[in-house]
């Protein structure tokens, strides 16, 4: 007999619905869920291979302390006692959580509640800081709230799609397939790709702007200047200053700054200005920059100024990288916000304190990802709980992260994998439930809350992350506030908080879901917030009313500049068939066949100049570190810059850790690292 369980893919922020077909013999096949509005049955190659990642080999199945297997009760008692001792001696700021866009909303909620609500410091941040925190700043500065004013169905209604810093064909494949289909059905819809590299996404581009790396903001500031003469018909806060700066960005200056043909720049501007409906989809190429927040606002500015927002087929659309980056934002998984998108202002702190029954709510933002691990390195943070992520591979300047963890008195890691680069430094290892075993909700790029449902039994002694947090919280003395038995209770609490003493101006209100029964929670269909709105693609309730802001943006170039010692600029990113640090996809032979080892893509002219040949090995080094990759000579690459994928860890490719090269330079507003820009040199290896 075959049993079918509907769930959500655990990889990218598209958030595709899947169906898990399980048989009595234990076999599992995964197919796309035709009823899920994110994908209508489509899956990319990673999602289609999910069934091949479900084996228990390589799993962490029992708690361990100092490398020794221990009983859960002992592990929890000992961990809570060590945490309490550190809090007593050094205060709550000596403790931190580092969470993940892989966690379910319920896991995230529990961790945030313990850290910010009861331990009493803001130190919970997440690997989502590395992927979309600049986009959050952009939305908050422009709209007054972290609100994504688009949905996927807008792609089927627009006249122009601008993809800025996004290789959607590889990083968000099902969304890209939807875009391809939309263009087939309406060939008049134009697609512009803004990316220094010619990527697979360019296959449907009517115009590819292969701009100078990091110069994106100028394209949009110059466009704002064009729009100001004809289309800016609203009065926004900041409008005068934004337009004054824009006035300097003439066609010639912009083309020169971006190192583009002025005819191409003019074409883009004309298409945008003349389109009735336009969308800009942006992701890591924009966000991962020392001025990423400003780049996001440069994009939002042109949509606000031209009225291409708040209507079907319009808007600035930040694509999230992970399955639950958005859910993490909702529950306060970023160190600079409280639960339910609340801020660290007195009213929100008091509101949260009343709801949680706590007088220990954190009063100031905590440490953001890069600075969090720097604080670990300085010995200021003495206990860090890393949940479902592998920061030793994904954070910049990874050798410093390794040093920091090696000297940290208490490193707690909850993970599904038995071996990761990070787990080598764990004092305490908690075995977590994996996809297919855990049960809860995630929120995708278009704010769609979907259920991840369990269809496999919990193996060994693996437990849900929320359960571990609740057990520790109870041992720290917060028994009543963490007395959950099922994720539905956590979701209900989260939903109730979103509407608790809400003054009505907040976009995020899902309180209509607060009273779901266990059965209703189990059966919950995918739903976009704000749930009260008639159409999720619009933010009608938020029409320009004086709260919207044109943020003045002065375009600038990246902090990393090439020089005679490090003459090339390194760009990093995803490949089609791997996910993050490969702990899951790296186990699937057919996914490994696509690209078998780290490569360095380089323009033919640079290959000759630096004496490297196609398929030869090359050592690439920055001021931070080095790695070895296989050369891929390609004129898809701009001269002067090279590209290396981000996935390989020491576990999968010795000498293959790209983030050992990347500096921890961050956007001052978002704390997002400039992972797209590192000065490097290469030599044949
Ligand atoms: Fe999963 Fe993303 Fe592929 Fe959809 S597009 S199947 S969410 S990896």
522-573 pLDDT, tens digit per residue, is 999 999 887 754 444 445 455 445 468 999 999 999 988 899 999 999 998 8
Q: What is the pLDDT of residue 147?
A: 87
Residue-wise pLDDT for 563-616, tens only, equals: 999 999 999 888 787 877 777 787 888 888 777 788 899 999 999 999 999 999
With respect to residue 554, please indicate whether it lies within any of the assigned structural domains.
no
Q: What whole-number distance in Å separates Cα of residue 628 and Cα of residue 658?
A: 9
**Minimum-distance ligand 1 atom for the alpha carbon of 10:** 1
Instruction: Output the CA 170–ligand 1 centroid distance in Å.
Output: 10
Say yes or no: CB of residue 174 within 6 Å of ligand 1: yes
Instruction: Output the CA 43–ligand 1 centroid distance in Å.
Output: 6
Residue-wise pLDDT for 408-424, tens only, equals: 999 999 999 998 889 99
323 pLDDT band (50/70/90 cuts)?
A: confident
Question: Which residue among 20, 40, 44 is best mutated to probe the pocket of ligand 1, counting the most ligand atoms within 8 A of its Cβ?
Answer: 44
Same domain, 42 and 99: no
Same domain, 466 and 394: yes
Q: What is the pLDDT of residue 83?
A: 98
With respect to residue 535, please indicate whether it lies within any of the assigned structural domains.
no
Instruction: Output the CA 677–ligand 1 centroid distance in Å.
Output: 27
**Minimum-distance ligand 1 atom for the alpha carbon of 45:** 3
Q: Nearest residue CA, atom 3 of ligand 1?
A: 44
With respect to residue 528, please indicate whether it lies within any of the assigned structural domains.
no
Same domain, 225 and 193: yes
Question: Which residue among 34, 47, 283 is best mutated to probe the pocket of ligand 1, counting the most ligand atoms within 8 A of its Cβ?
Answer: 47
Instruction: Output the CA 387–ligand 1 centroid distance in Å.
Output: 22
Q: Under DSSP, is residue 512 helix (H, G, I), strand (E, B) or coil?
A: helix
Q: What is the pLDDT of residue 65?
A: 98
Given the DSSP bridges, would you call strands 428-431 and 410-415 parallel, antiparallel or unpaired? parallel
With respect to residue 542, please indicate whether it lies within any of the assigned structural domains.
no
Instruction: Output the CA 434–ligand 1 centroid distance in Å.
Output: 17
Say yes or no: CB of residue 12 within 6 Å of ligand 1: yes
Contacts 24+ apart (CB under 8 A), 506-512: 506/145, 506/340, 506/341, 507/145, 507/146, 507/147, 507/341, 507/539, 507/541, 507/542, 508/145, 508/146, 508/147, 508/330, 508/340, 508/341, 510/449
Q: What is the pLDDT of residue 538?
A: 44
Instruction: Output the CA 173–ligand 1 centroid distance in Å.
Output: 7
Question: Which residue among 11, 325, 591 is best mutated to probe the pocket of ligand 1, counting the most ligand atoms within 8 A of its Cβ?
Answer: 11
Which of the pair, 629 or 375, is modelled with greater confidence?
A: 375
Length of the chain in terms of residues written: 685
Instruction: Output the CA 44–ligand 1 centroid distance in Å.
Output: 6
Collect all residues with Cβ–Cβ distance below 8 Å to 609 and sequence separation of at least 6.
Answer: none
Q: What is the pLDDT of residue 591?
A: 81
Same domain, 446 and 401: yes
- 3-class DSSP string for 635-669: CCCCCCEEEEECCCCCCCCCCCCHHHCCCCCECCC
Say yes or no: CB of residue 43 within 6 Å of ligand 1: yes
Residue-wise pLDDT for 471-521, tens only, equals: 999 999 999 999 999 999 999 999 999 988 876 556 788 999 999 999 999
Q: What is the pLDDT of residue 503?
A: 60
Give yes or no for a contact between 152 and 178, defined as CB atoms under 8 angstroms apart.
Answer: yes
Q: For residue 468, which of 73, 101, 29 has the smallest C-alpha distance?
A: 73
Task: With a cut of 80, say whether residue 290 has pLDDT above it.
Answer: yes
Say yes or no: CB of residue 591 within 6 Å of ligand 1: no
Say yes or no: CB of residue 47 within 6 Å of ligand 1: yes
Residue 261: CB atoms within 10 A of its CB come to: 12
With respect to residue 263, please indicate whether it lies within any of the assigned structural domains.
yes
Instruction: Output the CA 46–ligand 1 centroid distance in Å.
Output: 7
φ/ψ of residue 29, rounded to 5: -120, 140
Instruction: Output the CA 316–ligand 1 centroid distance in Å.
Output: 21
Arithmetic mean of pLDDT, 37-59: 93
If phi over 0 gives left and psi between -120 and 50 gives alpha, with beta otherwise, what is residue 238? left
Arithmetic mean of pLDDT, 302-328: 90
Same domain, 627 and 643: yes
Question: Which residue among 8, 18, 43, 283 is best mutated to probe the pocket of ligand 1, counting the most ligand atoms within 8 A of its Cβ?
Answer: 43
Instruction: Output the CA 396–ligand 1 centroid distance in Å.
Output: 25
654 pLDDT band (50/70/90 cuts)?
A: low
Task: With a cut of 90, say whether residue 91 has pLDDT above it.
Answer: yes
Say yes or no: CB of residue 46 within 6 Å of ligand 1: yes
Arithmetic mean of pLDDT, 430-436: 97
Q: What is the pLDDT of residue 232?
A: 61
Question: Which residue among 46, 201, 319 is best mutated to probe the pocket of ligand 1, counting the most ligand atoms within 8 A of its Cβ?
Answer: 46
Say yes or no: CB of residue 38 within 6 Å of ligand 1: no
**Minimum-distance ligand 1 atom for the alpha carbon of 32:** 6
Task: With a cut of 90, say whether residue 280 has pLDDT above it.
Answer: yes
CATH code of residue 8: 3.30.200.210
Q: What whole-number distance in Å separates Cα of residue 464 and Cα of residue 416?
A: 10
**Minimum-distance ligand 1 atom for the alpha carbon of 579:** 8
Same domain, 312 and 369: no
Residue-wise pLDDT for 20-40, tens only, equals: 999 888 789 999 999 999 999
φ/ψ of residue 614, rounded to 5: -55, 135
Q: What whole-number distance in Å separates Cα of residue 105 and Cα of residue 107?
A: 5
63 preceded by a cis bond (ω within 30 of 0)? no
Question: Which residue among 30, 51, 172 is best mutated to probe the pocket of ligand 1, counting the most ligand atoms within 8 A of its Cβ?
Answer: 172
Q: Nearest residue CA, atom 4 of ligand 1?
A: 16
Q: How far is CA 151 from its chain centroid? A: 17
Same domain, 86 and 45: no
Same domain, 419 and 286: no
Q: What is the pLDDT of residue 36?
A: 97
Q: What ipTM goes with this model?
A: 1.00
**Minimum-distance ligand 1 atom for the alpha carbon of 48:** 6
Arithmetic mean of pLDDT, 328-335: 90
Residue-wise pLDDT for 104-124, tens only, equals: 999 999 999 999 999 999 999
Q: Under DSSP, is residue 360 helix (H, G, I), strand (E, B) or coil?
A: coil
Domain that residue 666 falls in: 568-684
- Side by side, the strands of the sheet bearing 124-126 are 68-69, 64-65, 428-431, 410-415, 383-387, 95-99, 124-126
Instruction: Output the CA 177–ligand 1 centroid distance in Å.
Output: 11
Same domain, 507 and 386: yes
Collect all residues with Cβ–Cβ distance below 8 Å to 156 and sequence separation of at least 6.
Answer: 178, 182, 185, 313
Q: What is the pLDDT of residue 655?
A: 60
Instruction: Output the CA 648–ligand 1 centroid distance in Å.
Output: 20
Q: What is the pLDDT of residue 537?
A: 43
Say yes or no: CB of residue 32 within 6 Å of ligand 1: no
Same domain, 307 and 199: yes
Tell me which DSSP letter residue 118 carries: I
Task: With a cut of 80, say whether residue 229 has pLDDT above it.
Answer: no
**Mean pLDDT, all residues of the chain:** 92
Instruction: Output the CA 18–ligand 1 centroid distance in Å.
Output: 9
Q: What is the pLDDT of residue 233?
A: 58
Q: What is the pLDDT of residue 585?
A: 81
Q: Under DSSP, is residue 41 helix (H, G, I), strand (E, B) or coil?
A: coil
Say yes or no: CB of residue 44 within 6 Å of ligand 1: yes
Question: Which residue among 6, 7, 10, 14 is best mutated to probe the pocket of ligand 1, counting the most ligand atoms within 8 A of its Cβ?
Answer: 14
Number of helices (H), then strands (E), in the chain: 22, 24
Say yes or no: CB of residue 290 within 6 Å of ligand 1: no
Q: For residue 112, which of 330, 433, 381 has the smallest C-alpha distance?
A: 330
Given the DSSP bridges, would you call strands 440-443 and 448-452 parallel, antiparallel or unpaired? antiparallel
CATH code of residue 235: 3.40.228.10
Arithmetic mean of pLDDT, 146-161: 94
Instruction: Output the CA 101–ligand 1 centroid distance in Å.
Output: 14
With respect to residue 529, please indicate whether it lies within any of the assigned structural domains.
no
- Give the count of domains, the chain: 4
Same domain, 241 and 329: no
Say yes or no: CB of residue 666 within 6 Å of ligand 1: no
With respect to residue 242, please indicate whether it lies within any of the assigned structural domains.
yes
The answer to which of 8-12, 181-185, 234-238, 649-653 has the lowest mean pLDDT is 649-653
CATH code of residue 637: 2.40.40.20
Q: What is the pLDDT of residue 574?
A: 83
The answer to which of 300-304, 491-495, 635-639, 650-654 has the lowest mean pLDDT is 650-654
From residue 599, alpha-carbon distances to 67, 627, 679 in Å are 35, 10, 17
Radius of gyration in angstroms for the set of CA atoms belonging to the chain, rounded to a whole number: 24
Same domain, 165 and 147: yes
With respect to residue 172, please indicate whether it lies within any of the assigned structural domains.
yes
**Percent of the chain residues topping a pLDDT of 70:** 95
Give yes or no for a contact between 650 and 421, defined as CB atoms under 8 angstroms apart.
Answer: yes
**Minimum-distance ligand 1 atom for the alpha carbon of 172:** 5
Instruction: Output the CA 206–ligand 1 centroid distance in Å.
Output: 25
**Minimum-distance ligand 1 atom for the alpha carbon of 12:** 2
Q: Nearest residue CA, atom 2 of ligand 1?
A: 12
């Amino acid at each position: 007999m075959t049993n079918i369980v509907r769930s959500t893919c655990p990889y990218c922020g598209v958030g595709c619905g899947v169906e898990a077909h399980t048989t009595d013999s234990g076999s599992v096949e995964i197919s796309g869920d035709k009823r899920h509005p994110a994908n209508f049955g489509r899956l990319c190659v990673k999602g289609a291979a999910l069934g091949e990642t479900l084996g228990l080999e390589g799993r962490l199945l029992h708690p361990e302390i100092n490398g020794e297997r221990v009983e859960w009760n002992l592990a929890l008692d000992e961990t809570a006692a060590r945490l309490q001792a550190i809090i007593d001696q050094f205060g709550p700021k000596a403790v931190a959580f580092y969470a993940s866009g892989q966690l379910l909303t319920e896991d995230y909620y529990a961790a945030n509640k313990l850290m910010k609500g009861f331990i009493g410091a803001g130190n919970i941040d997440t690997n989502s800081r590395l992927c979309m925190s600049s986009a959050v700043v952009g939305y908050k500065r422009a709209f007054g709230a972290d609100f994504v004013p688009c949905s996927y169905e807008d792609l089927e209604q627009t006249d122009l799609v601008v993809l800025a810093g996004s290789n959607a064909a590889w990083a968000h494949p099902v969304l890209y397939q939807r875009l391809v289909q939309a263009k087939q059905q309406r060939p008049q819809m134009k697609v512009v790709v803004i990316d220094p590299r010619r990527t697979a996404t360019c296959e449907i581009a009517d115009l590819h702007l292969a701009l100078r790396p990091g110069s994106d903001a100028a394209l949009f500031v110059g466009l704002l200047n064009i729009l100001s003469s004809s289309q800016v018909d609203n009065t926004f806060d900041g409008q005068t200053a934004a337009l004054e700066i824009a006035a300097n960005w003439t066609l010639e200056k912009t083309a020169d700054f971006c190192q583009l043909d002025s005819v191409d720049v003019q074409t883009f501007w004309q298409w945008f200005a003349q389109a009735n409906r336009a969308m800009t989809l942006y992701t890591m190429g924009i966000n991962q920059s020392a001025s990423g927040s400003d780049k996001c606002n440069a994009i939002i500015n042109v949509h606000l100024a031209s009225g291409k927002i708040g209507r079907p087929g319009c808007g600035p659309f930040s694509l999230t990288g992970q399955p639950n980056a958005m859910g993490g934002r909702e529950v306060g998984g970023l160190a600079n916000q409280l639960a339910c998108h609340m801020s660290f202002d007195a009213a929100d702190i008091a509101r949260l304190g009343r709801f949680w029954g706590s007088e220990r709510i954190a009063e100031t933002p905590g440490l953001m990802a890069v600075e969090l691990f720097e604080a670990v390195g300085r010995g200021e943070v003495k206990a860090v709980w890393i949940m479902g992520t592998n920061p030793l591979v994904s954070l910049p300047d990874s050798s410093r992260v390794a040093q920091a963890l090696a000297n940290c008195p208490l490193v707690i890691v909850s993970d599904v994998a038995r071996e990761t680069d990070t787990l080598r430094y764990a004092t305490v290892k908690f075995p977590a439930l994996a996809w297919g075993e855990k049960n809860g909700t995630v929120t995708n790029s278009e704010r769609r809350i979907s259920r991840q449902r369990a269809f496999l039994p919990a193996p060994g002694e693996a437990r849900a992350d929320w359960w571990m947090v609740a057990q520790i919280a109870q041992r720290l003395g917060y028994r009543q506030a963490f007395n959950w038995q099922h994720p539905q209770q956590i979701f209900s609490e989260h939903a109730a908080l979103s509407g608790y003493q809400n003054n009505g101006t907040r976009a995020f209100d899902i309180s209509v879901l607060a009273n779901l029964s266990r059965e209703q929670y189990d059966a919950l269909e995918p739903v976009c917030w704000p749930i009260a709105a008639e159409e999720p693609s619009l933010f009608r309730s938020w029409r320009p009313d004086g709260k919207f802001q044109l943020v003045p943006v002065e375009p600038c170039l990246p902090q990393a500049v090439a020089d005679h010692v490090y003459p090339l600029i390194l760009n990093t990113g995803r490949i089609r068939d791997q996910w993050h640090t490969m702990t899951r996809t790296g186990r699937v032979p057919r996914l490994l066949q696509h690209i078998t080892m780290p490569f360095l893509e380089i323009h033919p002219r640079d290959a000759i100049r630096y004496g490297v040949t196609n398929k030869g090995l090359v050592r690439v080094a920055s001021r931070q570190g080095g790695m070895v990759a296989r050369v891929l000579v390609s004129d898809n690459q701009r001269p002067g810059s090279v590209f290396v994928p981000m996935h390989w860890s020491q576990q999968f490719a010795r000498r293959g850790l790209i983030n050992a090269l990347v500096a921890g330079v961050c956007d001052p507003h978002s704390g997002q690292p400039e992972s797209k820009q590192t000065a490097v040199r290469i030599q044949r290896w």
